[in-house]
């Protein structure tokens, strides 16, 4: 094809048809430009098709991830509420008599109030989008806005959880070390090292201390902050599920 066009140009020059040569040359340039534009358009169309398929795949995976996250947040809220309920029961026993305390399974209440309730979401798809810089592949602005909100709320929730962990590890648990039997408390979880303690302290003294009540109260406040953030998280999860429906 190139030889064919070259031959035409040579013939026009040899015949002295300079005007026609320039017109032909311009026409040839136009054809080349058109060819390039068509090639670019085809390439863009093909890339757009790839992007749309990738977008569809990401949205589908996000939808499935957050359906799983809905189950996880419901389980976490349920377990978290159990911790708060146990704390509430302990608080109602502050100032109780020895007889009243003897009727309660205090080890079980302490065990429930101090349970290790963890939360790990299915977020591989979102991390992949964020870390690869491919979040802009999602054309739906509502979805991207919700995902940014998800990241912000995750940070807030993490801070709240860390505050509760620090409070328990640095303040509350050290206080309980000389007040209750961890060995008997852990027996509720059927751990192989747990069981009856030969030096079990008298729990009555604990329930007569205002310091113990304050420890419980502050724990409840921190639990409440987490619970509120989790309720917000649950609502956001539902919004993301609805926004990513196929």
In order, the DSSP letters of 116-141 are --------HHHHHHHHTT-GGG---H
Would 29 be classed as within a structural domain?
A: no
Q: Is 174 exposed, middle or buried (0-12, 13-18, 19+ CB in 10 A)?
A: exposed
Would 123 be classed as within a structural domain?
A: yes
| Predicted confidence (pLDDT) per residue in 208-220, tens digit | 999 999 999 999 9
Sequence-separated contacts (24+) of 44-51 with Cβ below 8 Å: 51/137
Q: Is 99 exposed, middle or buried (0-12, 13-18, 19+ CB in 10 A)?
A: exposed
CA distance 7 to 42: 30
| Predicted confidence (pLDDT) per residue in 63-72, tens digit | 999 999 999 9
**pLDDT tier at 161, thresholds 50, 70, 90:** very high
Domain count, the chain: 1
Would 51 be classed as within a structural domain?
A: no
| Predicted confidence (pLDDT) per residue in 75-127, tens digit | 999 999 999 999 999 999 999 999 999 999 999 999 999 987 889 999 898 88
Would 82 be classed as within a structural domain?
A: yes
Model pTM? 0.79
Would 147 be classed as within a structural domain?
A: yes
Structural domain span for residue 156:
64-243
Would 103 be classed as within a structural domain?
A: yes
More confident residue, 177 or 1: 177
Q: What is the per-residue pLDDT for 21? A: 47
Would 31 be classed as within a structural domain?
A: no
Would 115 be classed as within a structural domain?
A: yes
């Amino acid at each position: 094809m190139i030889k064919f066009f070259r031959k035409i140009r040579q013939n026009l020059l040899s015949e002295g048809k300079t005007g026609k040569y320039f017109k032909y040359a311009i026409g040839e340039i136009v054809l080349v430009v058109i060819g390039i534009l068509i090639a670019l358009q085809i390439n863009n169309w093909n890339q757009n098709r790839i992007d749309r398929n990738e977008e569809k795949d990401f949205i589908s995976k996000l939808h499935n991830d957050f359906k799983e996250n809905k189950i996880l947040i419901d389980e976490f809220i349920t377990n978290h509420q159990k911790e708060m309920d146990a704390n509430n029961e302990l608080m109602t026993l502050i100032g109780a008599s020895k007889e009243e305390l003897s009727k309660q399974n205090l080890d079980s209440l302490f065990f429930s109030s101090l349970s290790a309730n963890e939360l790990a979401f299915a977020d591989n798809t979102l991390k992949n989008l964020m870390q690869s810089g491919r979040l802009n592949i999602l054309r739906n602005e509502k979805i991207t806005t919700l995902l940014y909100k998800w990241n912000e709320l995750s940070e807030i929730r993490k801070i709240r959880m860390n505050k509760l962990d620090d409070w328990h590890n640095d303040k509350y648990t050290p206080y309980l070390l000389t007040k209750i039997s961890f060995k008997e408390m852990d027996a509720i979880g059927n751990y192989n090292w747990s069981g009856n303690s030969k030096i079990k302290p008298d729990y009555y003294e604990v329930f007569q201390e205002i310091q113990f009540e304050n420890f419980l109260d502050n724990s409840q406040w921190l639990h409440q902050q987490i619970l509120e953030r989790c309720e917000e998280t649950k609502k956001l999860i539902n919004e993301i599920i609805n926004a990513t429906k196929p």
